[in-house]
Homo-oligomer: A and B are copies of this chain.
């Protein structure tokens, strides 16, 4: 009865630790959990049976099959897929992707809608979102109580709490209270996150060896964005989210950027910058509002076929990116970079110039940082959005300590 507020801290943290070990491991025995969490078997036994009663975990008894030797076989624990579900929404230019994942992360449903955010009112946007979520949810046949959370990935910056979409290249609307709308409508926590942050989170989850403490994911698309991990934590603004890497100044009085400034990295490395330069337009020409990814690929092919202007265009992009990175590497030591998005398909053309700039910078050791490429960004954005939602649910559930006795 007495709700102890502080001293259950230990139990809360151990609950979370166990949930996350199981989530990462997929199916693990109690003994393995004990080892991974450096807890005693006794404690793991107590907590995990609580979590099973709560429905968070399930024991998949003798599924091991052909047994593994003598002795009592271990029973594997897994996250219970049916515990709850999350709705994921990825807003892209012109499109809304809605997905439903179960508590184990499996995609249950997925819908694609068209939406021209460039020409839409606040009210329409709100109503459209709600309608499309409802439609997807209803089609899935899940009960309303099964919805635990809504997570949204967007291009643009949100407030630090992830409740409002402050501004986005997708729309002239600003300060859109998306999370409030949906929380009111669906009665569950709703959070927005920047797509680049989600990509970084996905990489961190997929391959924690490679993408652990310090790394960045750079999205090369129409614009240039960055998701940055330092010391294992996503770094974003102090008042708003999103590291605006694309808008770091790399050249005074440089090319004209979408944002109205001159000399942003994006203004030399974004899609519109590539086409602008390749078509011989002046660097101050108004940026195109949209470029088909194919065009970039085509220009890359031209460059590889010996087109000097195309080659120089990508080299210029590489220098812009390198200059920006050099600036960051002056503040924190060089780290691994993942280039993501269709621009990554042309990275071979940017790489020499990029590394050359790094080599000539103060942090010349940065010139041989490891770089990985992921051309298709959508799977990563989805995955990051999903894992983010699930980890938040885990934390919520870990907090609900001592509720086993009731139901």
State how many copies of this chain the complex holds. Answer: 2
Q: Is A72 an interface residue (CB 8 A)?
A: no
Once bound together, how far apart are the Cα atoms of A361 and B38, in whole Å? 50
A363 → chain B closest CB, angstroms? 7
Once bound together, how far apart are the Cα atoms of A236 and B330, in whole Å? 10
Structural contact, B10 and A332, CB atoms closer than 8 A = no
Extra A-B contacts (4), CB below 8 Å, given A244-B330, A247-B362 = A237-B333, A238-B335, A245-B330, A328-B331
Chain B residue with Cβ nearest A228: B331
Q: Which chain A residues in 53-107 approach chain B with CB under 8 Å?
A: none
A337 → chain B closest CB, angstroms? 13
Once bound together, how far apart are the Cα atoms of A264 and B233, in whole Å? 29
**Interface size counted on chain A using CB atoms at 8 A:** 45
Structural contact, A331 and B248, CB atoms closer than 8 A = yes
Once bound together, how far apart are the Cα atoms of A361 and B248, in whole Å? 8
Structural contact, B252 and A333, CB atoms closer than 8 A = no
Once bound together, how far apart are the Cα atoms of A228 and B332, in whole Å? 11
Of all A-B residue pairs in the complex, the 5 with the closest CB atoms, nearest first, are A247-B362, A237-B333, A214-B238, A248-B330, A244-B330
Mark each residue of chain A from 316 to 327: 1 if its CB lies under 8 Å from any CB of chain B, else 0: 000000011011
Q: Is A240 an interface residue (CB 8 A)?
A: yes
A238-B214, A249-B323 known; A244+B362 contact, CB < 8 A: yes
Q: Is A259 an interface residue (CB 8 A)?
A: yes
Q: Is A135 an interface residue (CB 8 A)?
A: no
Q: Is A9 an interface residue (CB 8 A)?
A: yes
Selected A-B contacts with CB under 8 Å, 7 pairs: A6-B39, A10-B10, A237-B332, A239-B333, A240-B333, A247-B330, A247-B363
Structural contact, B331 and A245, CB atoms closer than 8 A = yes
Q: Is A7 an interface residue (CB 8 A)?
A: yes
Structural contact, A248 and B333, CB atoms closer than 8 A = no
A329 → chain B closest CB, angstroms? 9
CB contacts (< 8 Å) of A248 on chain B: these are 326-327, 330-331
Mark each residue of chain A from 33 to 55: 1 if its CB lies under 8 Å from any CB of chain B, else 0: 00000110000000000000000
A312 → chain B closest CB, angstroms? 16
Within 8 Å by CB of A6, from B38, B323, B326, lies B38
Once bound together, how far apart are the Cα atoms of A247 and B366, in whole Å? 14
Structural contact, B38 and A331, CB atoms closer than 8 A = no
Structural contact, B6 and A9, CB atoms closer than 8 A = no
Q: Is A213 an interface residue (CB 8 A)?
A: yes
